[in-house]
Amino acid sequence: MKKVSSPQMMWRYLKQRLFFSAVWFAAAFLTVVIATILGFILINGIGAISWEFITEPPKQMMTKGGVMPAIVGTFYLTCGALLVALPLGVAAAIYLSEYAKDSMGVHTIRVLINCLAGVPSVVFGLFGLGFFVVFLGFGSSILAGSLTLGCLILPTIIAASEEAIKAVPQTFREASLALGVSKWQTIFKIVLPAAAPGLVTGSILSVGRAAGETAPIMFTAATFFTTLLPRSVFDEVMALPYHIYVLATAGTYIYETRPLQYGAVLVLITIIFAVNISAILIRIYARKNKRW
Amino acid sequence: MSDKRSGEAPRNLLSREKKDNLIKCFFLLCAVFSVGVLAVILFSLFYSGLPLFKSVSLSSFLFGMEWYPTFAPPEFGILPLIVASLLVTILSVFIAVPLSILLAIFISEIAVGYFKDGIKVIVELLAGLPSVVLGFIGMVVVAPLLQDVFDLPTGLNMFNASLILSIMIVPTIASLSEDAINSVPQEYKEASYALGATKFETIAFVIVPCALSGISMAIILGIARAIGETMVVLMVAGGAGAIPESIFDPVRPMPANIAAEMGETPRNSLHYHALFAIGIVLFFMTLAFNLVATYISRRFKEGGSATL
């Protein structure tokens, strides 16, 4: 190995050393931060978790009991959001990737969908309140909350679906069209089945996003406390993120309910990580079984 | 055979092309409808926000120093809220940008194997953490820590909010910067090495400058994200509606103000309209950042034979 001799070279390598240390430090720092956050929640939250915590409603002014209605509410809201956003988002993605030409109009549609993705979550909350709750008169309800969340995840679903559809090789379409199959049949029978794993992954990831959002449901669906499970889409529900927020900031017994707060946070991130990991597993599985 | 076909033909009410066209129109309609959501958002913000300006002038709203919506007479000046939003965002971007760019360089240029995959998973985990959880961490971990270390009356302040926000926008900036760095053509690096540059010199003087437009787009999207983020600033910024004098003062950014007050505001009161009007301001601020980011990404596409 050549020895570095001149002071100039030594200085250049020293700079490199310093820079590389900074880069490694950044990576280590982030790892430590996330490990601290997750470890902290796990250690403090695990004590609160019990069968009772998962299956019972809150009791005694929210200081005892569990989070079951909040889990159920979050489940309804995210399913509702997916029901709204998935068909619309996939259809829009089909248009953008299969039909759209490189025209001014299509360009505008893309830019506007990007802008929709950038709208702050609290503005979605205002929109849901002003439009669904008040203007259309749905009241604070699962319906209004699901529609609001659906609009929120729509751009994510469109982007993910478009990517999945674009990943289907062009030769598939050409082969199908060459056999005399019409365009829409090609899309339904060839393109969509081939893109299915990508579509599923994208929609699962957006479910993870919808489940954790608080601001959009604060004024459109979430309620502080109810022991009843919802009976119709016009009922208010409890939701896990909102439950955490309320317990941590607005309750009468903020310090007494700390264990419950840790428990609720642990339940929420467990749900979200489980959802995200299942999406990643599906992606890996689909890649392995890819036949092209 | 041909008889059978001609016998069947009338049963198909639509010809093939017509059917194809109809289905195309349906998909187009869905795409337009998705864009329509943006229009409806704008409509509902204006519908509920504009009535404020019948009784409050635009300049006293935007530049007024006092936000006392429940006093008689009420004051609806949002300048302290705008300033709070901007300050929290700027501070968090200052913290997040160096960290994110170093991370992006780590992922795309330095780490290999398990380190690379590991840090990617960590960034994805961080991106998946709900904002309410980070806000909670800010309240129960960071706030007491700050209070002890700096001997403050409250740990819920601007600095805390900026710290948590910066953790939140790191995944956005890092992953978009990584894309930008990855799209720098291999030839550029090879040319730099051939001239005798060290790896550091190649990264600092070739790769990063080439990826600069992509990195700036990432930063702008990070800013847009930070301005609009609600739960973190609602839970940890402290909520004092005045222009801060130090970074350890409590502040009340716009999203926090909307979220904190909307719950107890009577429908169609002046206060209700004022909160929607803040929403309009917030909407256009983030829209502007997003449009600038879109413009940059289109205008300054990185060149190079490998990508084109």
Contact B102/A26, CB-based, under 8 Å?
yes
Which positions in chain A touch B98 (Cβ < 8 Å)? 26
Which positions in chain B touch A119 (Cβ < 8 Å)? 38, 41, 228, 283, 286-287
pLDDT score recorded for residue B5 = 47
Strands (E), A45-131: 58-59, 64-65
Where in chain A are the domains?
1-45, 51-288
pLDDT band of B7, cuts 50, 70, 90: very low
Give the residue with greater pLDDT, B263 vs B175.
B175
Q: How many CA atoms lie within 13 A of B305 on its CB side?
A: 4
Provide the chain A residues 205-244 that lie in CB contact (below 8 A) with chain B.
208-209, 211-215, 218-219, 241-242, 244
Where in chain B are the domains?
2-53, 63-299
pLDDT score recorded for residue A22 = 93
- pLDDT tens digits for B113-122? 888 888 988 8
Give the count of beta carbons closer than 10 Å to the beta carbon of residue B74: 16
DSSP bridge partners of B75: B68
Average pLDDT, chain B: 88
pLDDT score recorded for residue B222 = 94
Provide the chain A residues 125-184 that lie in CB contact (below 8 A) with chain B.
125-127, 129-131, 134-135, 151, 154-155, 158, 182-184
- State the amino acid at position B8 in one-letter form: E
Burial of A139 (0-12, 13-18, 19+ CB in 10 A): middle
Which positions in chain B touch A180 (Cβ < 8 Å)? none
ipTM: 0.89
Min Cα–Cα distance to chain A from B120, Å: 10
Burial of B71 (0-12, 13-18, 19+ CB in 10 A): exposed
pLDDT score recorded for residue B2 = 44
CA–CA separation, B45 and A288 (whole Å): 47
Contact B38/A119, CB-based, under 8 Å?
yes
CA–CA separation, A210 and A53 (whole Å): 23
Nearest chain A residue (CA) to B16: A182
pLDDT score recorded for residue B194 = 94
pLDDT score recorded for residue B1 = 40
Predicted TM-score (pTM) of the model is 0.90
Q: What is the CATH number of domain A51-288?
A: 1.10.3720.10
pLDDT band of B306, cuts 50, 70, 90: very low
Is a pLDDT exceeding 70 seen at residue B136? Answer: yes
Min Cα–Cα distance to chain A from B59, Å: 22
Contact A26/B99, CB-based, under 8 Å?
yes
CA–CA separation, A112 and B235 (whole Å): 31
CA–CA separation, A31 and A106 (whole Å): 41
Report percent pLDDT > 70 for chain B. 93
Which positions in chain B touch A274 (Cβ < 8 Å)? none
Q: Looking up tokens 């700027």, which residue turns up? A: B90
pLDDT in tens, chain A (292 residues): 456 678 888 888 899 999 999 999 999 999 999 999 999 999 999 988 888 888 887 876 666 778 888 999 999 999 999 999 999 999 999 999 988 888 888 888 988 998 999 999 999 999 999 999 999 999 889 999 999 999 999 999 999 999 999 999 999 999 999 998 988 899 999 999 999 988 998 889 899 889 999 999 998 888 777 767 777 888 888 899 999 998 888 766 777 788 889 999 999 999 999 998 898 888 888 888 776 6
Using the Cβ of A21 and the Cβ atoms of chain B, whether some distance falls under 8 Å is answered with no
Which of B31, B98, B279 faces A92 most closely, judged by CB atoms?
B31
Contact B279/A122, CB-based, under 8 Å?
yes
pLDDT score recorded for residue B14 = 72
Which positions in chain B touch A109 (Cβ < 8 Å)? 31-32, 35
Which positions in chain B touch A92 (Cβ < 8 Å)? 27, 30-31, 33-34
Contact A152, A80 (CB under 8 A): no
- State the amino acid at position B229 in one-letter form: E
Which positions in chain A touch B115 (Cβ < 8 Å)? 27
Burial string for B95-106 (b: 16+ CB within 10 Å, else e) reads bbbebbbbbbbb
Tokens of A150: 């659906």
How far CA B210 is from CA of A126, A151, B193, B216, B300, in Å, comes to: 40, 36, 15, 11, 10
- State the amino acid at position B6 in one-letter form: S
CA–CA separation, A282 and A286 (whole Å): 6
pLDDT score recorded for residue B308 = 34
Provide the chain A residues 272-291 that lie in CB contact (below 8 A) with chain B.
272-273, 276
Contact A240, A149 (CB under 8 A): no
CA–CA separation, B209 and B45 (whole Å): 40
Segment B98-112 shows an average pLDDT of 93
Q: What is the CATH number of domain B63-299?
A: 1.10.3720.10
CA–CA separation, A282 and A203 (whole Å): 12
pLDDT score recorded for residue A3 = 60
